[in-house]
Chain A
Amino acid sequence: MPTYFGDADIASIMSDARGFSVPVVFGAINGRGIVDYVDKTVLPSLGITGVSGKVITVDIQTTAFPGIVVGSSITVDGTNYKVRDRSQVGDGAETHLLCVGV
């Protein structure tokens, strides 16, 4: 498992005490993450209509959730999702998950 500079700082940001994060469950791991729900209109045709979708992103501490991959099932703040994309950001200490509803 790689180590990251300032990894402990990420854990501090994600802690319940800060009030930013929500529960994230992956298998037997109960941790926390910062979730955003951003509206986005998808699949317009000729500049009109489309569907009002939602981009669901969850930021987690990379080392707190070993083994998360695309297709992993997770529960975010009580709602079940599948990971549809993931990318480490910065030096890799944080992982950015994009989620799709199941």
Chain B
Amino acid sequence: MSTIRDQIIEAAIAKLNTSTPVGVPTATRLRMTPYEPEELPAINVFPVREEVRSDPAGRFGPVVMRSMTFRVLLHARGSDTVSPDKALDDMAAWVSHLGGQQFGGLAIDTEESSLEWLYEEEDFAYSSLAIDFRVDFKTLKSDQTKAA
């Protein structure tokens, strides 16, 4: 049985890969290796950090409230006709649909918490956008696979 955290990540990726608009690529989970330029644009999803605090209430024993931040990392490249930040825009618009998600009851709420753009020009003008989402959910204190 996977942790609630893992189920939320999988649900977020499934959401991004359902009815995806033309031009928006398939999202993958935690790609570690660099993309080749021909693979761009690209969407990469992975957990970043989590804060945990006690919640004494709960029917099945001590409960903790978890605030997990996961990152949706977008990569693109610009051209003579499209600026590298504009090349990220369609993906950013689609990814914002994760805001407000409860992922079928796994989460209390999901909010965009920050966006950070980075640029570097080598053989092409590359751009990346890290969109961090904070998702709040509860689990048993002693079992991350059990929602509370």
Contacts and interface: CB of A to CB of B under 8 A. Distances in A.
B124 A49 contact: no
A interface, by DSSP: helix, strand, loop or mixed?
strand
Interface string A73-102: 000000000001000000000000001111
B97 interface: no
B83 to A, nearest CB: 13
Nearest to A53: B122
19 contacts: A41-B34, A42-B120, A42-B122, A45-B44, A48-B30, A49-B32, A49-B33, A49-B34, A51-B36, A51-B37, A53-B120, A54-B122, A54-B123, A55-B122, A99-B123, A100-B123, A100-B125, A102-B79, A102-B80
Interface of A: 40-46, 48-56, 84, 99-102
Given A42-B120, A43-B118, A51-B77, 16 more contacts: A41-B34, A43-B127, A45-B71, A45-B128, A45-B130, A46-B71, A48-B32, A49-B75, A50-B34, A50-B35, A53-B37, A99-B123, A100-B121, A101-B123, A101-B124, A102-B80
